[in-house]
Amino acid sequence: MATSRPDGEARGRSANRVLAYVESRKNLTGSACGIVGLALTYTGLAGAYWPVVVAGLYGAGALIAPPERPPAPDFPDPSSRLDALRDDFGTLRAYLDEVELPPAAAGRLTELTELLAGLLAPGWVSQALATDPEGVHALSRAVHQDIPESVDTFVRTRWWTRIAPGTEPPERHLERQLALLYREAEALATALREAETRRQQTHTRYLEDRGHNG
């Protein structure tokens, strides 16, 4: 009884391999060439050696058939990743609206979230961002990890500071963290802008060269 399942799985795999070969290009091409051999047999051209002719043509057809090509992996489209990230960013903003922050930190957080919202807004900016995997990764890390971690750590540390004062105010760390995250997002926006600038300059040179050559 213990070997019934492995034996059944082995038979199933063997049947699948046989079925795959029956449907393969090699078998289909070889069969077509074999049919040509049978036609030669019926016309009398193959003579007494018709089995050899049919088998040889089948083998030749199987050899010349193009190899089977496994399907390429179907990865998610970059724009679909941005759609999911955009939804997660909405969830993050809803969480941030419930957190009470000092005015300075709140101002820095607003600047950061507005910049991220501009980068993720549907349109040509997000289309340009979708072609930059590193940029998408940086935004995903900011939304999923950096910002919620910074804010949540501040909330927890502030509670401890209130019952055990004397340490550095946690809002200073939060302000520095948000400033660093803003610089990262700003650098990404600058890189996207410079890429569009280079694209415009390249098109200008193309038109100039075309005009000179014409």
Q: What is the pLDDT of residues 116-129, one digit of tens each?
A: 999 998 888 888 88
Q: What is the pLDDT of residue 102?
A: 92
Ranges 40-54, 69-83, 162-176, most confident? 162-176
Percent of the chain at pLDDT exceeding 70: 60
- Mean pLDDT for all residues in the chain: 77
What is the spatial distance between Cα 188 and Cα 17, in angstroms, rounded to a whole number? 50
Q: Alpha carbon of 187 to those of 24, 55, 120, 199: distances in Å? A: 52, 67, 15, 18
Give percent of the chain with pLDDT exceeding 90: 35
162-187 pLDDT, tens digit per residue, is: 666 667 788 999 999 999 999 999 99
Give the pLDDT band (50/70/90) at residue 67: low
